[in-house]
Amino acid sequence: MSDRIELGLDTFGDVTVDAEGGLKHQAQVLRDVIEEGVLADQVGLDFIGLGEHHRDDFAISAPEVALAAIAARTKNIRLGSAVTVLSSDEPVRVFQRFSTLDAISGGRAEVILGRGSFTESFPLFGYALNDYEKLFSEKLDLFAALLKGGAINWKGSVRPEIRNETVYPPIENGALKTWIGVGGSPESVVRAVQYGLPMMLAIIGGDPSRFLPFIDLYHRAIGQIGGEALPLGVHSPGHIAETDEQAREELWPGYQAIHNRIGGERGWGPTTRQRMDMEADMGSLYVGSPETVAKKIVKTMTTLGVKRFDMKYSSGTLAHDKMMKSIELYGTRVAPMVRDMLAGS
């Protein structure tokens, strides 16, 4: 895996507002996501990740299908999930879908595997939340076996045994680039090392430096278990406009909508503009002018020693045209500044 700096984008296909302020149909949101992916390629970004959800405020439930549509209209950008909820999916089918995407895109596919912070997929696909840990652990073990290629022999308790079966299509060149998504579980950090996979940290609130213990654990685990220290990444939310004030004003309505909706489901109180501004000033919200966002990305990447930064550019009802401008600024102005600052550090 390359040691170069990578700058990418993530979206969950948040259901956005139209010009009249009404919510768009999920079908139109999906079409908008395709255009966002095409623009990300045109402005030279390294990656776009589509997150999997199964609820009415997010449009993307089948990331690989949308990624294939983006693949057909792009040349260079890498295409992946953010994340694939492996616990409630079938590892063999996940591998087949991404190996198919890899073939279609000429080797540009990658997958980020995780347990997810939402649980809607468990009852939908018939899995018990009581098996949350076991499902992820065993299915990750099977997926790791699939990554090796050739005939598979695997036995566990969450699905039938596989005996001397080969899975098609195989990866054409090399291996499928696979990450472990980590939101706060030390066990997931150790698993990443055990399977020789890079780690993507989902840092969605608070000072990014609070994740330094996970970075330290990753390197300590390598020292004890063995293996190669692979480039690590960070996923965090953000929005870019011409000025700091404009970026915050544009972001606030969507930020408020999504935080109040999800917070209400989880028993949290309503969010405030002060809280958003605090996250922008001191936390893990990358909102502002290109210069402001670039400096903050550089600080995070330097502090944590990561090689990849993916900005979750969608935020609740934030409109498509504002996201398109954010993507343009990220690729044409933020990315060059980040690379220059890191090269000179």
pLDDT-wise least confident of 41-45, 227-231, 246-250: 227-231
C-alpha pair distances (Å), 70 with each of 13, 83, 320: 14, 17, 16
CA distance 231 to 215: 11
Token couple for 332: 């044409």
Q: Which CATH class is domain 6-343?
A: alpha beta
Instruction: Report, as an integer, the average pLDDT of 90-107.
Output: 98
Task: Supply the pLDDT for residue 36.
Answer: 98
Torsion sign across C-alpha atoms 208, 269, 118, 69:
negative
Task: Supply the pLDDT for residue 1.
Answer: 43
Of the candidates 337, 293, 299, the one whose C-alpha atom is nearest the C-alpha of residue 313 is 293
Tell me the per-residue pLDDT of 183-219, one tens digit each, with 9 for 90 and over: 888 888 999 999 999 999 999 999 999 999 999 999 9
CA distance 172 to 194: 25
Residues in Cβ contact with 98 at an 8 Å cutoff, skipping those fewer than 6 apart: 64, 81, 109, 110, 111, 176
**Residue with the two structure tokens 């589509």:** 50
Tell me the per-residue pLDDT of 294-321, one tens digit each, with 9 for 90 and over: 999 999 999 999 999 999 999 999 999 9
Is 322 a residue whose pLDDT tops 60? yes
Tell me the per-residue pLDDT of 29-57, one tens digit each, with 9 for 90 and over: 999 999 999 999 999 999 999 999 999 99
Instruction: Report, as an integer, the average pLDDT of 115-144.
Output: 93
Domain ranges of the chain: 6-343
Instruction: Report, as an integer, the average pLDDT of 60-89.
Output: 97
* Exposure b/e, 86-96, CB count within 10 A at least 16 = b: bbbbebbebbb
Tell me the per-residue pLDDT of 5-31, one tens digit each, with 9 for 90 and over: 999 999 999 999 999 999 999 999 999
Is 2 a residue whose pLDDT tops 60? no
CA distance 64 to 116: 17
Task: Supply the pLDDT for residue 3.
Answer: 65
DSSP codes of every residue in 185-218: -HHHHHHHHHTT--EEEE--SS-GGGGHHHHHHH
C-alpha pair distances (Å), 310 with each of 56, 144, 325: 24, 24, 17
**Residue with the two structure tokens 């060149």:** 173
Tell me the per-residue pLDDT of 278-299, one tens digit each, with 9 for 90 and over: 999 999 999 999 999 999 999 9
Kindly tell me the burial class for residue 293, based on how many C-beta atoms sit within 10 Å of its own C-beta (0-12, 13-18, 19 or more): buried
